[in-house]
Structure 1
Amino acid sequence: MKNKFVASLLLCFSLAVAVAQDSPGKKILPYPISQHKLDNGLNVVTVPYNSPGLASLYIVVRAGSRDETEKGKTGFAHFFEHMMFRGTDKYSKEEYGDIMKAMGASANANTSLDRTMYYMTGNADMLDKMFEIEADRFQHLKYSEHDFKTEAGAVKGEYTKNSASPYQQLYEKVAGTAFNKHTYAHTTMGFFEDVVDMPNQYDYSLTFFDRFYRPEYTTILVVGDVTPERVNKLAEQYFGMWEHGNYKPEIPVEPKQTKTRYAHVKQENFPPYLSLNFKGPAFSDKDKDLPALSILTTILFAENSDLYRKLVVDEQKARFIGGGPQFSRDPNLISVSASLLDVKDMQYVKDELMKALEEAKTKPMDAQKIEDTKSRIKYSFAMSMDSPDAIANALGRFIWLTGNPESLNNIYSVYDTITAQDLMAAAKKYFKPETMTVGTIAPTDNPPVK
């Protein structure tokens, strides 16, 4: 066991050093990515990785809260994250759990704005069984109206628990304030009134599943002690008869914002909190905007930044500051936030954050600082690629963003090209007060900032 751990650590360290010293244009993930598309539109991705006896199977469904376009029908993408573990005629919920235990495997799922992702890691020799049980529930999920109502009640309970947090309350208010038409206006959990009404939406739940749990929305990703030939054969065997659907949601386009907006949560005896949220770009693995924004916000607001040292360490006005852009399929928010010690300092801290963003529009960043930041970003990623699950999770992110796992390599290649001029151009383009939504938590009735 110790020798395996040491070998894994050395492999990871070697990868990190290679990435940090690599020349531009080289792929950051040094493992071949094999892609195979079935006739029904299902994409199958395989990444052989030296993990004797282990394999991670991820199923990425490119449907999240973004795709919930009908009034009164939000929260269903997240609902199916729960419902998919309810069982089928072939395997009940209990039998599914027993199979997981017998294989020594772990399985879970999570939902976000743009996708729902199911994943399990286990014995590579049991990959056939893993495919069988996943294909069964993806194609033959079955639940009664009683089961539906039970799970809908559980979802409501989860919503209520989460919404007790002032941070979650502010997150919801910021989203609802920043977006007037786009579906990013509601969080993954959905609007509260829709969650309350969900137990009455059994018929619609069947419609949602029929629309989105289709091969054209789905990618199967396997990483570990496997070969593309074996994975493709299993995919064809178990998912080849899965029928292609015909539904495509019409995602509303968000109108241009022309004035600063405010979202406020009144909360006594809670650390004052400030967030500045600017309209940002959609993800692209070719454009420079997101990498430039990521590098810029890291330089300005990371723990080693001048402003962090000033506000947090020297002046002790803030507990922390930080921020960055959101990677999402459609234009989303670039957020910069601060937790304060005293609400009286909120305007001062906001002014300091805005001053830094304004200076970034005209003051070139030091070239060496830019290169050092690029290296840290790439080094951090490389050091995390130490298991089949970690690699699959990273690739899954880019699968749901573009449908193509190679986007991971593509976007890191773009990072290599970013210059000081690109940082200034991004700052001028996106850090505009008229596109900003200011979020605050304070013991006051109104936002304590202008």
Structure 2
Amino acid sequence: MFNYTFLSLLLLLVVGQQTAVGQAKGEVFPYKINQTQLPNGLNVVTVPYNSPGLAAFYIVVRVGSREEVEAGKSGFAHFFEHMMFRGTDQYSKEAYSNALKGIGASANANTWWDRTVYHMTGNAGMLDKMFELEADRFMNLKYSQADFKVEAGAVKGEYTKNYASPAMQLYEKTYDTAFENHTYKHTTIGFWDDVVDMPNQYEYSLEFYKRFYRPEYSTIIVVGDVTPERVNALAKQYFGQWERGDYQPQIPAEPEQTQTRYAHVQNPNFPPSLSLNFKGPAFSIDQKDKAALDLFAAIAFSQKSPIYKKLVVEEQKVRNIGAYGLDTRDPGLFSISTSLLKAEDMDYVKGEIERVIEQYKNQPADAKLLQEAKSRMRYSFAMDLDSPDNIANALSQVTWLTGNPADINRLFQLYEQVGPQDIQNAVRKYLVSQKLTIGTIAPAADSPFKS
């Protein structure tokens, strides 16, 4: 689901063609989306918004840990996000930071399975400087081997800090267990052995930059006190000479899962946890399965649901319970997760979750609850579109999934088309034991469900 999950038109075919997508009746995104594709394949998106003197500048690179197909190279997309702040001949790391301060801008970035996103918000009157700074590092990044090793140490420290948490350990084990071949098997930060070896991968880092930091992988999104004419002119001026690449990774296909798998973390001092993780569908604006499971989660496991009332409020056997399916370009996981008060209640809680799943397999969802869930989803999304940064962020999410920010309206149109029978069909298709990986944190040495 687009809005809940992240709590939790194809690219133009005619070179240089410009389009503007406005709001049609019933569309959830209320602003005109202007798109231009440069001859080198760079997509440029502009959304004028009434924010006097303020603009958000995003670059979405459709490269994440999904593209890390070579053995021993997991975590490189995230690592390279760090390297992108190391400077160029024209702007050192310190000079880049000072230039941002000089135009009243702040910059950051983040990486996930399917993308890396660079973003800044600042003075719209200094938009040309934003373009200059970003074009320089995207085309002319330069760092020493010593700088590379320093950053590799920082990433190792980040891994050590994050994965000290049993919850993060289970997250890592769950995906490692659920997937055999696909690169969703490793988390964004990478496998530990690969992180440890990163200081020795300087030459590969140069190859990674050469492969992926190319215009055909990238989309610029500018939102705020701007015009399409100004943005397009600056994009052509600063990014027009960016050379197109020719590398296309071959993402390994995931074989069909045929039996339940188990991921377990032993820890007697951490709250017991249980998650049922089913192989689910990829994000789609055409097929209903993912949208149907999103709406199933919103109905069956919301804070208004009977199981929440029973387990959290009345019986107080769990601290929380929820369901979600992360939006991914390839088939990922649909998860139902809960934190328990006592490990001995794990089997009972699992049985209650399974009872809800069976209920939705045996009868269609309630039409009234379904419509309420759709309305909440649209309202929540629309209410968050209140600043250039939030608008650019919303568009960036659908951009890295489909390549086209205008697909946001098609997504919500798809949600509207989902009926009770679609939910029943999706639950029957995906929420089955053959597609299941059970994740647990408990005092026992092994999973309490593994025979």
TM-score (norm 2): 0.94
Tell me the alpha carbon deviations over residues 302-325 of structure 1, each in whole angstroms, 9 at most, x when there is no partner. 111111000100011100000111
Corresponding residue of 2:139: 139
Are positions 1:344 and 2:341 aligned together? no
Shift of 1:26: 2.0
Corresponding residue of 2:288: 288
2:138 alignment partner AA? F
Equivalents in 1 of 2:277, 2:369: separation in Å? 25
Corresponding residue of 2:431: 431
Shift of 1:448: 1.7
2:424 alignment partner AA? M
Instruction: State whether residues 275 and 338 of structure 1, in contact with CA within 8 Å, keep that contact through their aligned partners in structure 2.
Output: yes
Corresponding residue of 2:233: 233
Equivalents in 2 of 1:343, 1:110: separation in Å? 35
Are positions 1:91 and 2:91 aligned together? yes
Shift of 1:327: 0.6
Corresponding residue of 2:221: 221
Corresponding residue of 1:392: 392
With over 3 angstroms needed to count, the CA separation of the structure-2 counterparts of 1:368 and 1:25, relative to structure 1, is: farther
Tell me the alpha carbon deviations over residues 80-106 of structure 1, each in whole angstroms, 9 at most, x when there is no partner. 111111110000111111111111111
Shift of 1:361: 1.0
Equivalents in 2 of 1:271, 1:330: separation in Å? 32
Corresponding residue of 1:28: 28
Equivalents in 1 of 2:412, 2:82: separation in Å? 34
User: Counterparts of 1:203-218 in structure 2 under 5 Å?
Assistant: 203-218=203-218
User: Counterparts of 1:153-302 in structure 2 under 5 Å?
Assistant: 153-302=153-302
Instruction: State whether residues 288 and 418 of structure 1, in contact with CA within 8 Å, keep that contact through their aligned partners in structure 2.
Output: yes
Equivalents in 2 of 1:268, 1:364: separation in Å? 40
Equivalents in 2 of 1:47, 1:313: separation in Å? 44
Shift of 1:449: 2.7
Corresponding residue of 1:54: 54
Q: Identity over the aligned pairs, expressed in percent?
A: 63
With over 3 angstroms needed to count, the CA separation of the structure-2 counterparts of 1:24 and 1:426, relative to structure 1, is: farther
Task: Flag structure 1 segments of 5+ consecutive residues without an equivalent.
Answer: 1-22
Corresponding residue of 2:5: none
Tell me the alpha carbon deviations over residues 98-153 of structure 1, each in whole angstroms, 9 at most, x when there is no partner. 11111111100000000000000001000000000000000000000000011011
TM-score (norm 1): 0.94
Q: Find the residue that maps to 1:181 and give its secondary structure.
A: coil
Corresponding residue of 1:319: 319
Tell me the alpha carbon deviations over residues 373-421 of structure 1, each in whole angstroms, 9 at most, x when there is no partner. 1001111111111100001001000100010001111100111111111
Shift of 1:363: 1.5
Q: Find the residue that maps to 2:149 and give its secondary structure.
A: helix
With over 3 angstroms needed to count, the CA separation of the structure-2 counterparts of 1:28 and 1:149, relative to structure 1, is: same
Shift of 1:441: 0.4
Corresponding residue of 1:19: none
Corresponding residue of 2:43: 43
Q: Find the residue that maps to 1:285 and give its secondary structure.
A: coil
1:319 alignment partner AA? R
The alignment's C-alpha RMSD in Å is: 1.1
Equivalents in 2 of 1:48, 1:276: separation in Å? 43
Shift of 1:25: 6.4
Corresponding residue of 1:123: 123
Question: How many corresponding residue pairs?
Answer: 428
With over 3 angstroms needed to count, the CA separation of the structure-2 counterparts of 1:25 and 1:184, relative to structure 1, is: farther
Equivalents in 2 of 1:325, 1:177: separation in Å? 17
